[in-house]
């Protein structure tokens, strides 16, 4: 096969993989993990069930890839929205409304719940989710470095951990109680985390990682 042929094959394979992931995420949003079967994916995509093994090593690998994709779809807009401000304190103030707006979308709420529940039941998925959360923490730290270039790495990372904890708490409130009034800064997660964040910007210290 020529180099051009290989590139074409790779492009087709990438498009097919992305198609399968979109189908998997749609099925997850519609019916939870029981709906994400090889047969359901094959029927909706008009493919042979064996393609899941070809691209993902089987159904477990496909589930992990679907969860990763769902996590990104839910959290990327959250991180972007929280950080569309000029400094860390404003990011904390902005977070409750960003989370409330994101989870007003029933699909996003369902996806977040399904990924969390699966991680609580499956140690392998829990380990994967921890890695995704670490990536989110790193993105927060990078953005904080842009906002506050004068900060030390310790101060930046500590503040990133607190921002991550704030977003995590707001997400958990919304997942457990969709009617939670966390669209303002008056909710319990926001109040505690914002106060801690203000203290952190003045007196930085190390914090455990969360998102």
CATH of the domain at 95: 1.10.357.10
Tell me if 101 is assigned to some domain: yes
Torsion-angle region of 58 (φ positive above 0: left; ψ -120 to 50: alpha; else: beta): left
Name the helix (H) or strand (E) containing 84: none
Asked whether 192 and 143 are in contact (CB, 8 A), the reply is no
Tell me if 18 is assigned to some domain: yes
pLDDT surpassing 80 at residue 205: no
pLDDT tens per residue, range 107-142: 999 999 999 999 999 999 999 999 998 998 999 999
Torsion-angle region of 28 (φ positive above 0: left; ψ -120 to 50: alpha; else: beta): alpha
List the structure tokens of 92: 């904390």
Say what percent of the chain tops pLDDT 70: 81
10 pLDDT band (50/70/90 cuts)? confident
pLDDT surpassing 60 at residue 38: yes
Number of structural domains in the chain: 1
Tell me if 109 is assigned to some domain: yes
Is 79 exposed, middle or buried, given 0-12, 13-18 or 19+ CB atoms closer than 10 A? buried
Tell me if 68 is assigned to some domain: yes
57 pLDDT band (50/70/90 cuts)? very high
Q: How many CA atoms lie within 13 A of 146 on its CB side?
A: 9
Tell me if 108 is assigned to some domain: yes
Q: What domain range includes position 28?
A: 3-202
CA distance 9 to 3: 10
Which single residue is written with the structure tokens 């690998």? 61
Tell me if 26 is assigned to some domain: yes
Tell me if 115 is assigned to some domain: yes
pLDDT surpassing 90 at residue 106: yes
């Amino acid at each position: 096969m020529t180099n051009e042929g290989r590139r074409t094959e790779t492009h087709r394979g990438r498009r097919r993989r992305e198609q399968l992931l979109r189908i998997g995420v749609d099925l997850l949003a519609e019916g939870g993990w029981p709906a994400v079967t090889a047969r359901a994916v094959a029927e909706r995509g008009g493919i042979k069930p064996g393609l899941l093994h070809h691209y993902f090593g089987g159904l477990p690998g496909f589930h992990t890839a679907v969860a990763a994709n769902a996590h990104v779809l839910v959290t990327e807009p959250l991180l972007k929205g929280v950080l569309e401000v000029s400094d860390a304190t404003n990011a904390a103030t902005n977070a409750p409304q960003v989370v409330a707006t994101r989870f007003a979308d029933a699909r996003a709420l369902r996806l977040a719940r399904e990924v969390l529940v699966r991680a609580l039941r499956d140690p392998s998925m829990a380990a994967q989710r921890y890695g995704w959360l670490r990536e989110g923490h790193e993105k927060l730290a990078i953005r904080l470095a842009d906002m506050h270039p004068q900060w030390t790495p310790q101060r930046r990372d500590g503040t990133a951990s607190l921002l991550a904890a704030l977003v995590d708490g707001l997400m958990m409130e919304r997942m457990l109680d969709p009617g939670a009034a966390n669209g303002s800064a008056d909710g319990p997660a926001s109040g505690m985390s914002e106060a801690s964040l203000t203290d952190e910007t003045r007196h930085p210290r190390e914090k455990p990682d969360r998102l």
